[in-house]
Structure 1
Amino acid sequence: MKKRSPPLAIVIGGIASLIIAMGIGRFSYTPILPILQAETGLTDSMAGYLASSNYLGYLLGALLANVCILRKDKLFSLRLYLIINIFTTLLMGSVQAISIWFILRFISGLTSGFVFVLASGIVLDALARYKRPTWSGLFYSGVGFGILLTGLIVPIADSFFGWNGAWVALGFIALAISIIVFLLLKEPIENKHVNRAVHKQDETITKQPALPWLIGAYGCEGIGYIVSATFLVALVQDIPDLSSFPSLSWIFVGAAAIPSCIIWALIARRWGNMVTLHFAFFTQMIGVILPVIFFNTYGALIGAFLFGATFMGITTLVVSEARALTVHRSGNIIGFATFIYGIGQMLGPTIAGWLIAASGSYHSSLIFASFTLLLAMVFLAVGQLRTRKFNKLILENEMLEG
């Protein structure tokens, strides 16, 4: 069994869990949304509220999952929430009451949050024990694979069975993929020597002036990225050349997201997290605004690709930088950053829905998202300036004391 690389099996199981909980459970709403609006009369503002209910659930799930991390039944909890998540997808195709949709999307978000945090904990702990930390990019590629899958399946299922069948088809596919999770995703055997090394950390508490600005930028990312993540396919449907296959844009998002975490980690190794974050935010801003400037096939697909290439990468970079700034309490800081990010995800679709309803165009929502991403870059720049001043002050004090 050891010859078959246990960490690889665990990573594959983790990828499968992200395909289900994130790619299908969380993000399948995007390619299905224009179909729902066309066939059920769902309004733009109501679509925004429905998306926000899912993100509220995700926010609560990610926060409450920290309690499960402290318990020994992480794997059982993950499997339980994964099955519930799958059934919410199946039930979305079985009912037509919007009030029930709100409940189902909330539960889907809640369980997605649980699964994402629990799977991350299991996989990343395993990679640390097996000394394979660089494999984390492979694990997070599961989100991209899931998005790619939904972009391919939704139009096919819709052509045969309508919007109901699209939800149900994705639900059964998720059920099949869950077999991989149950078979391969295991918690590694405790290694006392590794644990000693992991827990031997620098407890020195140092002030980090860049940290609140980093978290503020991450909150802006929550608002900025989620607008495209919610309304991209609906917007692309208005482009004549893509109106018959708007999910192609979502396929581009997924294809770009698959290798993105690995690529951004390699760039950060050369230039550092903060400089790389500026580049990632700028790239995402261009991707978001491009369909507004060039409202055609090229603008939409290139924009979708740039968006897909950045949204998971930014999360990876922020988490990495937060860990570097607060080694002794990284879990608490990352949890708080996720909370702020989650609030942004709740606000984004709601505000975008209002703007779309008021203007009659998706362009207003993308312009709003672009300005929010620009604000994130300003926050990062302020954080870097504060850090330089703080470090200069420390150096001057040390010279005076010396």
Structure 2
Amino acid sequence: MIQGNTDSDRYSIRTSLFGMLVLALGMGIGRFLYTPMLALLLTEGHFSFSQLSWIASANYAGYLAGSLLFSFGLFHLPSRLRPMLLTSAIATGGLIVAMSVFTQPALVMLIRFLAGVASAGMMIFGTMTVLQHTRHPFVIASLFSGVGAGIILGNEYVIAGIQMSLASHALWLGAGALSGLLLLLLAWLMPGRAHALPPAPLATARNPVMRWWQLTLLYGLAGFGYIIVATYLPLMAHNAGSPQIALHLWSLVGLAIIPGCFGWLWAAKRWGVLQCLTANLIIQGVCVMLTLASDAPLLLIVSSIGFGATFMGTTSLVMPLARQLSVPGNINLLGVVTLTYGIGQIVGPMLTSMLGSGSEALTHATLWGAAALFLAATISAMQLYKR
């Protein structure tokens, strides 16, 4: 009996590491390596600020397109999950290498769009593979904490490359090699089908905490609210008093994501999902506004930690709600909230580009993002008074 428990614990740890690696590669590197690279690309003069913003939006559009494409049932057959996951992982690495080859804005936008599709594949197929084998909250939190681990790894890699005077071309190539290593580890840790669990039925709350369209609107606002900082933070902090602090702020965001993924799940069980979602969005909105304090390093550190601890927490709180609310007809609420969140992410960089270039555009866009988060928090808080 003791041996059985030991085997179970060992299997859970292996599954946790697998899930962390999936999102470290697919999201932390595949999507968010672009955040520290953006400032370098702008400095090198390969692209204008407006072009870099459109390239970022193309990636978010690809993620949205991939999320919708992979929501079709034909991709969810158990026999297809692992091949689709590995295909997405290989594509992620290959598209990172492709970034080192092309500098034409239209081609780079296409590459980042396809990278977004691959990231969505890794998120969806990786999550489904993990949920096939466990529903333990610790393992699920480990899965989402992989985003933070990948952000730390990617940002520190870029910092080291810049200190060695490497150009963006060399950094993209190196990131491709790093992705190859993570892919090998992921394939080695991938759980087999022998321990798969039966499918879990969708839960339906008898007294829903909010209407389905309210959650849809809330999550769309959250997607818009966070993406400005998630795209431009290193550039926004460029004028901070300490260059070293500015370089490592994005790593602080990644570091804070890891305990945040565990903390919000624990807090929701203790105090309730709505209470925690409201607090999460308010804290996130405040931290987004604090990122404007580019001349106050301490405030930038606080805002980066608070932002990292909340933005993935929003997802971990909203997804269970989406499974509980009743919807008219055959609407897939998980797909609808993913759609509005994706639209919010696309609009953020596009709005920044339309507002101009430089610090003034970033300031205005950041204020709009904070306002969106506060509005989302208001929607959540209003449901508390109705109960």
On whether the aligned pair clears a TM of 0.5, the verdict is yes
Match of 1:79 among 57, 79, 86: 86
Matched, 1:99 2:100: no
Q: Give a deviation string over 1:1-34, Cα, whole Å, max 9, x none.
A: 9727323222211211111110011001110111
Q: CA deviation at 1:181?
A: 1.0
In the other structure, the counterpart of 1:236 is: 237
Quick check: 1:75–1:187 contact (8 Å CA) kept in 2?
no
Alignment of 1:3-42 (within 5 A): 3=7, 5-42=10-47
Provide the identity percentage: 27
Equivalent residues of 2:46, 2:103 under 8 A apart: no
Deviation (angstroms), 1:113: 0.4
Deviation at 1:169, TM superposition (A): 1.4
Rounded Cα–Cα distance in structure 2 between residues aligned with 1:310 and 1:203: 26
Match status 1:268 vs 2:268: yes
Matched, 1:278 2:282: no
Taking the aligned partners of 1:206 and 1:305, their CA distance within structure 2 comes to 35
* Structure 2 match to 1:371: 371
**Alpha carbons of structure 1 residues 246 and 187: separation in structure 2 relative to 1, 3 Å:** same
Instruction: Answer whether contact 2:222 2:341 (CA < 8 A) is retained.
Output: yes
Aligned to 1:224: 225
Offset at residue 166 of structure 1 (A): 1.7
Amino acid paired to 2:198: N
Mapped pair 1:351 → 2:346: no
Structure 1: gaps of 5 or more residues: 389-402
CA contact under 8 A between 2:62 and 2:115: conserved in structure 1? yes
Question: What is the rounded CA distance, in whole Å, between the counterparts of 1:362 and 1:56 in structure 2?
Answer: 20
Distance 1:222 1:170, change over 3 A: same
How far the C-alpha of 1:150 sits from its partner, in A, is 1.2
Are residues 11 and 202 of structure 1, via their aligned partners in 2, closer, same or farther at CA, if it must alter by over 3 Å? Answer: closer
**Match of 1:164?**
169
How far has the Cα of 1:35 moved from its partner?
0.6
Confirm whether residue 143 of structure 1 aligns to residue 150 of structure 2. no
CA contact (8 A) 1:75 1:186 kept: no
Letter in 2 for 1:50: I
CA deviation map 1:267-310 (0-9, x unaligned): 11111111101111111111110132463211222111111111
Letter of the 1:37 partner, please give it: L
Aligned twin of 1:114: 121
Is 1:126 matched up with 2:133? Answer: yes
AA in 1 matched with 2:35 = T
**2:239–2:294 CA contact under 8 A, matched in 1:** no
SS of residue matched to 1:50:
helix
Shift in CA distance, 172/245, structure 1 to aligned 2, threshold 3 Å: farther
Amino acid at match of 2:270: R
RMSD: 2.6
Change (3 A) 1:310 1:207: closer
Letter in 1 for 2:80: D
Separation of aligned partners in 2, 1:31 and 1:334? 30
CA shift at 1:93, angstroms?
A: 1.6
Greater CA drift, 205-214 or 135-144: 205-214
Aligned residues: 379
1:310 maps to amino acid: T
Residue 144 to residue 165, structure 1, CA distance change in 2 (3 Å): same
Change (3 A) 1:204 1:266: closer
